[in-house]
């Protein structure tokens, strides 16, 4: 979906409605929120009944640029979504929007106010990066270590290290083990993934480690076949070279063998990944992971700040 | 910062204030928003003047569980932040909060309403995963391919593939090339990183590819030294084995050589990463990357939905 905008003045209808996003920081919060909110309009986005283009302006820290962006939003009949920490800048955004009739939403304002009154402390009003924060926190190093561990462990490499992992994923080829591992690593978990490949024995260590940290992935055979087919195309594998990789008989046998292994290890949760986005599978895995650690009636994923 | 909550009934003051986050989806939107909003309270979080613990409840799709969570929030004097697509569920959350006096903020409600009136379309009211969306979109495959490419390319591997990358990062050891590469890969960019190591020649391909896609990273020597020291500790490298890796003389020479290479390649933007979070450096790189592609007066990162 990453594409350059080359919207022309007469292209309004062809391109659909615009959403401008402005942040004095990275813009990722506005982007994340808009993308989740757009999920509520999937029914008309899919058939292009209401196609939308978003435009992210990050690092907006002076009023002139801010005003220029709002003016452009007005010209394009766009709406504006913003996250701006400095009260006078935020006020300027609101006023400019009002002046030029641009619909305008402050993403974090309400949460920030609610937190302020909950804590009894005023927000700093300083944008991200303005403070002299120490980025070299333990948390920061932990995340980097998790990412480096996870990369090294990918695709069954270094099975002797499985016990050092927080989470171990297993499943047949193309169940999304790699992107899922990386997603979890970004959240600070050391992840190893072990592929289940026909004719290859699983590493003994997989059955020796704490079974509470192993998660099994499974998928619908028809969907798996279509993923494997497009994978083979990407890799430029010729039909006859594919060792049946994406043939239905092979796909089914592959999944049956996996399912047998999963049955023999009943404490591994089996997660159905068909039609789930990576972040959805990650949420399910982390929910189970933390539930098991807490054993409380209302388990949650908890953090301290 | 991932830690299990083991809050006891008498531990209220010790643990600080609680923020409950509830979602019918993954909870990542609420978590991201709360974490950004908490940035506004760094001044009192740092000295633990107002320590905060967050508790994420994801996949909350029945009213009983929702009510149970609000009741627990009331007991703990917590505030609630929620993202719930189904109007009757969202209404129930609001009512339960009112009944038990829990301060309560809807993260996406205002954006969703603004988008609805901008597009002239009603939100579906269906939580994530409820629709029959096709996850096997081109976008999805592109992101997975980007992640797999980036992992294989890490740490200077396969220099013959640099031309296939969208973005190439270069810098000395411990400037954050790997986590930054992975962060960008998650956003769909194929990233390669090329380490600058004393005594090792840089791959010729680095100077043959489009210089517009190369980004140089630099860092303050004192900060770099402290990162390298803690790195060496993590790796368990003994003082005498470290080949001067974290000695100030070496650190400075390393950075000087890098800086000379950067001067010889003036079109590579030199990004100062000292005291920047990975996502901040990523935002700067992507801003420059898209600006160069667009050459417009108000460049943005644009997407179509
Ligand atoms: N650590 C932080 N300290 C202060 N403000 C922050 C922090 N993180 C994010 N913000 C603010 O939260 C909003 C969203 O940030 P971003 O996601 O970087 O666009 C912006 O107004 C940022 O300035
Ligand atoms: N693709 C989507 N379709 C419908 N609703 C979504 C989508 N993505 C996120 N949401 C909703 O947006 C809110 C935040 O999602 P999440 O970040 O998964 O907690 C939840 O209420 C989700 O149900
Ligand atoms: Mg893989
Ligand atoms: Mg590296």
Q: How many whole angstroms from A262 Cα to the centroid of ligand 4?
A: 35
pTM, two decimal places: 0.93
Confidence of residue B130 (pLDDT cuts 50, 70, 90): confident
Query: What residue has token string 């992101």?
Result: B143
- Of B91, B51, B50, B96, the residue nearest B75 (C-alpha): B96
pLDDT, tens digit (0-9, with 9 covering 90-100), for B157-197: 999 999 999 999 999 999 999 999 999 999 999 999 999 99
Closest by Cβ to A53, choosing from B35, B223, B304: B304
Say how many Å lie between the CA of residue B127 and the centre of ligand 2: 6
Distance (Å) of CA A89 to CA A82, A116, B280: 11, 19, 20
Around Cβ A236, how many Cβ atoms within 10 Å? 7
Parallel, antiparallel, or unpaired for β B167-172 and A167-172? unpaired
> Quick check: B224 and B174 in contact, CB under 8 A?
yes
**Are A30 and A80 a contacting pair, CB within 8 Å?**
no
Question: Which of A33, A38, A39 for mutating ligand 2's site (highest number of atoms within 8 Å of CB)?
Answer: A39
Does the distance separating the beta carbons of B119 and A17 come in below 8 Å?
yes
For B71-94, write each residue's pLDDT tens digit.
Answer: 999 999 999 999 999 999 999 999
User: Which residues in chain A are closer than 8 Å to B144, comparing Cβ atoms?
Assistant: 176, 178-179
Neighboring chain A residues of B174 at a CB cutoff of 8 Å: none
Contact between A186 and B186 using a beta-carbon 8 Å cutoff? yes
CA-nearest residue for atom 9, ligand 2, is: A36
Q: Which of A12-16, A293-297, B164-168 has the lowest mean pLDDT?
A: A12-16
CA atoms within 13 A on the CB side of B16: 20
d(CA A159, CA B150): 22
Sheet holding A191-196, edge to edge: A191-196, A167-172, A214-218, A270-272
Beta strand extents in A14-125 (DSSP E only): 17-23, 52-57, 79-83, 104-106
- pLDDT at position A210 over 50: yes
For residue B131, what pLDDT is reported? Answer: 65
CB distance from B13 to chain A under 8 Å?
no
Total residues belonging to chain A? 305
Let me know: does B24 contact B127? Beta carbons within 8 Å.
Answer: yes
φ, ψ of residue B10 to 5 degrees: the values are -95, 10
In chain B, the residue whose alpha carbon lies closest to the alpha carbon of A105 is: B111
Q: Which band of pLDDT confidence, cut at 50, 70 and 90, is reported for residue B280?
A: very high
Helix, strand, or coil (residue A86) = coil
Give the whole-angstrom CA distance, residue B18 versus residue B74.
10
Which ligand lies nearest to the CA atom of residue A35 in the structure?
Answer: 2
pLDDT tens, residue by residue, A94-150: 999 999 999 999 999 999 999 999 999 999 999 998 865 556 678 888 999 999 999
DSSP state of A165: -
Using a CB-CB cut-off of 8 Å, the residues of chain A touching B118 are 17, 19, 79, 103
CB atoms closer than 10 angstroms to residue B232: 17
How much is the pLDDT for B135?
A: 60
| Nearest Cα to Cα of residue A17 among B10, B115, B153, B102 | B115
Complex ipTM > 0.85: yes
**Residues for chain B: how many in total?**
305
DSSP 8-state code for residue B2: B
Nearest CA to ligand 1 atom 13: A83
Task: Answer yes or no: are the C-beta atoms of B47 and B82 closer than 8 Å.
Answer: no
What is the tally of helices (H) and strands (E) in chain A? 12, 9
Contact list in A for residue B70 (CB cut-off 8 A) is none
C-alpha angle A96-B282-B276 in degrees, rounded to nearest 5: 90
Question: What is the Cα Rg of chain B in Å?
Answer: 24
Closest to B35 in 3D by CA, of B48, B45, B24, B49 = B45
CA of A184 to the centre of ligand 4 (A): 18
Measured between alpha carbons, how far is B135 from A279 in angstroms, rounded to an integer?
Answer: 12
Cα–Cα distance measured from residue B125 to residue B161, given in angstroms and rounded to the nearest whole number = 45
């Amino acid at each position: 979906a990453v594409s350059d905008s080359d919207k022309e003045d007469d292209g309004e209808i062809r391109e659909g409605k615009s959403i401008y996003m402005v942040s004095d920081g990275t813009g990722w919060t506005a982007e994340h929120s808009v993308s989740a909110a757009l999920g509520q309009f999937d029914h008309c986005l899919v058939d292009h009944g209401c196609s939308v283009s978003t435009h992210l302006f990050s690092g907006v820290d002076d009023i002139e640029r801010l005003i220029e962006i709002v003016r452009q939003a007005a010209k394009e009949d766009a709406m504006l979504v913003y996250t701006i920490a400095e009260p006078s800048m935020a006020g300027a955004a609101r006023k400019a929007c009002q002046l030029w009739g641009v619909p305008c939403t402050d993403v974090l304002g309400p949460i920030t106010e609610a937190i302020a009154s909950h804590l009894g402390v005023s927000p700093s009003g300083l944008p991200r990066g303005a403070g002299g924060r120490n980025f070299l926190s333990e948390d920061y190093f932990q995340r980097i270590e998790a990412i480096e561990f996870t990369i090294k462990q990918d695709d069954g490499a270094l099975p002797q290290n499985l016990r050092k992992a927080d989470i171990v994923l297993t499943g047949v080829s193309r169940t999304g083990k790699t992107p899922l591992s990386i997603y979890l690593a970004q959240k600070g978990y050391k992840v190893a993934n072990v592929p289940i490949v026909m004719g290859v024995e699983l590493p003994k260590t997989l059955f020796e480690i704490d079974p509470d940290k192993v998660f099994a992935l499974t998928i619908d055979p028809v969907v798996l076949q279509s993923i494997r087919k497009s994978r083979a195309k990407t890799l430029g594998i010729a039909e006859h070279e594919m060792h049946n990789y994406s043939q239905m008989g092979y796909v089914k046998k592959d999944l049956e063998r996996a399912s047998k292994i999963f049955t023999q290890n009943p404490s591994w949760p089996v997660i159905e990944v068909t039609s789930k986005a990576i972040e959805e599978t990650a949420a399910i895995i982390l929910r189970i992971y933390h539930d098991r650690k807490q054993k409380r009636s209302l388990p949650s994923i908890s953090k301290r700040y």
